[in-house]
Amino acid sequence: MITLLDYGAGNVRSVINAIESLGQKVKVVSGIDDLLSAEKLVFPGVGNFGSMMRILNEKNYVDALKDYLLSDRPFLGICLGLHALFEKSEEAPDTKGLGFIPGHVKKFDINLSVPHIGWNGVNIKKPSRIFNGLRGDEKFYFVHSFHVVPDDDSVVLTTTNYGVEFASGIQKGNITATQFHPEKSGAAGINLLKNFLEPGSEKKAITHVLTETRLSKRIVACLDVRSNDRGDLVVTKGDQYDVRENGTVRNLGKPVELARTYYEQGADEITFLNITGFRDFPLEDIPMMDVLKQTSKNVFVPLTIGGGIRDYTDKHGRKYTALEVATEYFRSGADKISIGSDAVLTAEAYLRTGKITGKSSIEQISMVYGAQAVVISIDPRRVYVSSPDDVGHHVIETKIAGPDGERYCWYQCTIKGGREGRDLDAVTLAEVCEKLGAGEILLNCIDKDGTNSGFDIELVNAVRSAVTIPVIASSGAGCAEHFYEVFAETDVESALAAGIFHRKEVPISDVKSYLRDKVEIR
Ligand code: 1PR
């Protein structure tokens, strides 16, 4: 029996699913007694150091946890579960950690996108049975803005490079903790979890030693999901956002099965977009929650879900906050949520009033679940102008002239799946959302969607250079070369495609093979 400490933030379902996939039973801590009697404790954490410690204190778990650690019973901390072991964190300077490991937690101070999101390697510093069966050059999934700095290097199990070399794993006796998420790290992560869960195997030195680890570019598979006219939930795909063909919603497959296929083919991340979420309230859309629950049972890479995340009043007058909607998505297995229409309306309000209210969906959700859990999905459309002075928007000079030979354009934000254009440009939207606490941008392009003609490099560069958070380029991929093009010509961290994967024109494994010697990939 594995005991799991859930203090209520983020996606513990995926940790439970990963452990259960290894045939083990999980008991979730519901009181101090569970901690005192635990034989093997897993402590996953996402979110904020301050709120984690506050909840642990409120529940009176702190002393029991310290006793557990001092007794040297097997412990696996994940992400914030690693940070908790330290004395303090820059994330909440007035809050004390468990202090089991002397040292502190520090914010990345580097010239790279923060959060550090994605697949990176580990340099193994000492033998540990946790790495049995692994080669040592595998990549694991990271998502964090802070990293630990132990006073004593002898506890460092692994280091990882991202602007700096930081401790990405620690081990002291039977206490192990990783900055990366084994439960989201595909087969390598599951192997590592298995090593923790199964007793007996001896420590084994790793033969493969890296000198500097590198963050991979991520390949994301996107599934646009909606009910078709018969009421079945299907993966569909638009041409410039029009998902109907001869009047009927295109049906390209079943969401759970396709997600599993893409995982097996090597997708680094899966995104579900509930594309009618703007009109159908997600909490009444049980099948969509079910899709997430089913998928997270056997897909061990990060799952993002978008569609309908906003404040909402149902037909009985019951009010729901965007945070409640997001919470339900997280509970169903999502690691990140993506906000489309509501982000545009929030940015417009901010630009109108200049006020940061703390009440927007972006702010509420990033406050509780962390910036890394909040993705902004932008649905822009190109608008040509004769001169940069024609509009008060972020205008770019384009190599693709407009219908009347125009050499300038801006990218107009839309809401409701492209149905309504707004007086706001994509660059400004990205900047405002970063300021409000978003952790990543999913940059679609209506003109390119479904065209197989390649990503809109000009749009991607314009947005990428305006923000410091990671950007996912989306829309237009037609072949493996297009992925190389977007990685070579822009600084985006990931590229997303839908149509070519659904139509089986180019499997994800082929994209990866093509990229293998050209860019860093998993
Ligand atoms: O506005 O918060 O409710 O979120 C709705 C979400 O649904 C938004 O993220 C929006 O992008 C998405 N959405 C709404 N309508 C559509 C549609 O297609 N009619 N899909 C839609 C957007 C675009 C991409 C697509 C890429 C790659 N899909 O995600 O997967 O363009 O396609 P390709 O590789 O085939 O070119 P809210």
For the cut 60, the answer to whether the pLDDT of residue 203 exceeds it is: no
The type of residue at 378 is I
Residue 92: predicted pLDDT: 94
Name the residue at shortest CA distance from atom 2 of ligand 1.
340
Residue 284: predicted pLDDT: 77
Q: Which of 241, 472, 511 to mutate to test the pocket of ligand 1 (most atoms within 8 A of CB)?
A: 241
Is there a catalytic annotation at residue 72?
A: no
Q: Which of 284-293, 380-389, 490-499 has the lowest mean pLDDT?
A: 284-293
CB-ligand 1 contact for 161 (6 Å cutoff): no
Strands 269-274 and 248-249: unpaired
Q: Looking up tokens 């999913």, which residue turns up?
A: 442
Q: Give the pair of three-digit tokens for residue 323.
A: 């945070």
What percentage of the chain exceeds 90 in pLDDT? 86
- Segment 388-405 shows an average pLDDT of 96
Burial of 446 (0-12, 13-18, 19+ CB in 10 A): buried
Give the Å distance between the CA of 511 and the centre of ligand 1: 21
CB-ligand 1 contact for 474 (6 Å cutoff): yes
Q: Which of 18-27, 93-102, 276-285 has the lowest mean pLDDT?
A: 276-285
Which is catalytic among the residues 91, 285, 348, 379? 379
Vertex 271 angle, CA 395 and 442, to 5°: 15
Point out the ligand 1 atom lying closest to the alpha carbon of residue 339.
2
CB-ligand 1 contact for 417 (6 Å cutoff): yes
- CA-wise closest residue to 31 among 60, 66, 73: 60
Give the Å distance between the CA of 306 and the centre of ligand 1: 9
Name the residue at shortest CA distance from atom 23 of ligand 1.
444
CA–CA gap between residue 443 and residue 446 (Å, rounded): 10
Indicate whether this model's pTM tops 0.85: yes
Residue 369: predicted pLDDT: 86
- Segment 160-168 shows an average pLDDT of 97
- Condensed to tens digits (0 to 9), the pLDDT of residues 413-455 reads 999 999 999 999 999 999 999 999 999 999 999 999 999 999 9
More confident residue, 12 or 241: 241
Name the residue at shortest CA distance from atom 17 of ligand 1.
241
Give the Å distance between the CA of 95 and the centre of ligand 1: 41
- Segment 163-182 shows an average pLDDT of 97
Q: Which residues pair with residue 143 across a beta bridge?
A: 117
Instruction: Give residues with Cβ within 8 angstroms of 495, minimum separation 6.
Output: 217, 218, 219, 220, 455, 472, 473, 474, 477, 483, 486, 487
Is there a catalytic annotation at residue 224?
A: yes
Which is catalytic among the residues 183, 269, 434, 449? 183
CA–CA gap between residue 36 and residue 484 (Å, rounded): 52
Point out the ligand 1 atom lying closest to the alpha carbon of residue 308.
3
Is there a catalytic annotation at residue 79?
A: yes
Q: Which of 270, 275, 285, 424 to mutate to test the pocket of ligand 1 (most atoms within 8 A of CB)?
A: 275
- Segment 316-337 shows an average pLDDT of 92
Please tell me whether residue 449 adopts helix, strand or coil conformation.
Answer: coil
Residue 370: predicted pLDDT: 85
Point out the ligand 1 atom lying closest to the alpha carbon of residue 238.
18
Residue 456: predicted pLDDT: 98
Q: How confident is the model at residue 274 (pLDDT cuts 50, 70, 90)?
A: very high
Vertex 339 angle, CA 78 and 359, to 5°: 90
